[in-house]
Amino acid sequence: MYGAVSELPCLEYQAFLLQVSSKAAVHLQSDEAFQDVHVMIFVGFGFLMTFLQRYGFGAVGFNFLLAAFGIQWALLMQGWFHSFENGKILIGVENLINADFCVGSVCIAFGAILGKTSPVQLLILTLFQVTLFAVNEYILVSLLHVKDAGGSMTIHTFGAYFGLTVTRILYRPNLEQSKDKQGSVYHSDLFAMIGTLYLWMYWPSFNSAVSNHGDAQHRAAINTYCSLASCVLTTVAFSSLLQKKGKLDMVHIQNATLAGGVAVGTSAEMMLTPYGSLIVGFLCGILSTVGFVYLMPFLESKLHIQDTCGIHNLHAMPGLIGGIVGAVTAAAATEEVYGKEGLISAFDFTGDYKERTPSVQGGFQAAGIFVSLAMALAGGAIVGAILKLPFLGDPADENCFEDDVYWEVPEDEESGLYHMHDPTLKPATS
């Protein structure tokens, strides 16, 4: 799963011993997929979170910070688990993609605590979450032999429930003092929509980036493409249906339209078929939109889960659906559909796993869901308790969702644009 392009002896980079493998030279598609995934992490996730009217710098800037830090730690953590040979960590383009995947789970968790934490807390979160991600990934991929090319379980389920657990531990009973700042304004929603479009366009590359070149990669791209397209139509329909005046809610369009890509992550490279992908996207569009309208207020009022970006609706629930769809699709696989060699190739039934059957594989796929949930909940509780330490510089309740706590904000922004919708401010009179 992890290719080799250069040798990195733990912390020492040997610039003059760069070795390009034949695999990387032949498969230029890996470089293109890496660029697509890289754009999703730094541009897509960053701009998606700029919807907060006074936290645009924090959304893009802190996402940039934790992602840049996270990929370095991920290269080491994943390298120690997957490509450590003769005292050296072997690094290739596929390792870079997997590091981006790892950081993707951190960006997801960041969405739950957006605007409520300090840069120091975010770096600590990244350090621990990347470590736990690498352990969880090793258990699923190497020990359970689970197939999860698009990361419905390892990235979305783990990242979302980890973040939700952290935000529950960091619950702020007086956050109502900053309630007026949690909304959006016209221009902030437009910036967030830029992130949505980048994520939506590149999601087929995300789900197919580490699939075997050929049939598996083609299936992953096609299944994701169909699911995303179906999800958009359903989201638009239900957003209008659930609003009192039949108007569209931009929050739904920014987020729920992406749920289809999350939900086919595990089964993307399997024989889900385009028709099956359309159904998955259709269902996730409904579930995610309903989650934003009804479930999100319930979680905050009853369970004290203050989910800033609504990651439960975009990543958590669709991630669980993705794991379930993957388990069912794997269990239903047959030689008649895949062909004998195709079945072996699709699920890597070789070596120690050559006697494994599709039904058994389906059981291990299901087990992967529970392992990811357990790691996320336990890890999130521990990390949340660490982040609650009083000396880590978290903002006061009344200063949450404010850029000027940690950023130099231009004066015209502070006096004008940030408060352009403040009803308490009156125009100056001559």
pLDDT digits (tens, 9 = 90+) for 41-98: 999 999 999 999 999 999 999 999 999 999 999 999 999 999 999 899 999 999 999 9
Beta strands in 52-102 (DSSP E): 84-85, 88-91
Per residue in 89-103, is it b (16+ CB within 10 Å) or e — as a string? bbbbbbbbbbbbbbb
pLDDT category, 32, cuts 50, 70, 90?
confident
Mean local confidence (pLDDT), 335-356: 93
Residues 6+ apart with CB under 8 A from 94: 1, 2, 3, 30, 210
- Between the alpha carbon of residue 407 and those of residues 91, 180, 192, 399, the distances in Å are 36, 20, 20, 13
Mean local confidence (pLDDT), 371-396: 95
* Cα gap 147→365, rounded to integer Å: 7
pLDDT category, 176, cuts 50, 70, 90?
confident
* Cα gap 244→370, rounded to integer Å: 38
Indicate the average pLDDT of the chain.
Answer: 89
Mean local confidence (pLDDT), 129-138: 98
Q: Closest Cα partner for 329 from 277, 259, 281?
A: 277
- Between the alpha carbon of residue 57 and those of residues 8, 41, 74, 183, 403, the distances in Å are 34, 16, 25, 16, 6
Maximal C-alpha separation, the chain: 85
pLDDT of residue 412: 62
Mean local confidence (pLDDT), 298-306: 95
> Cβ atoms within 10 A of the Cβ of 227, count?
36
Give the dihedral sign, CA 315/318/320/323: negative
The percent of residues above 90 in pLDDT, for the chain, comes to 80
Q: Closest Cα partner for 74 from 49, 94, 55?
A: 94
Q: Copy the structure tokens of residue 89.
A: 């960590």
Q: Copy the structure tokens of residue 12.
A: 């020492």
* Cα gap 184→194, rounded to integer Å: 15
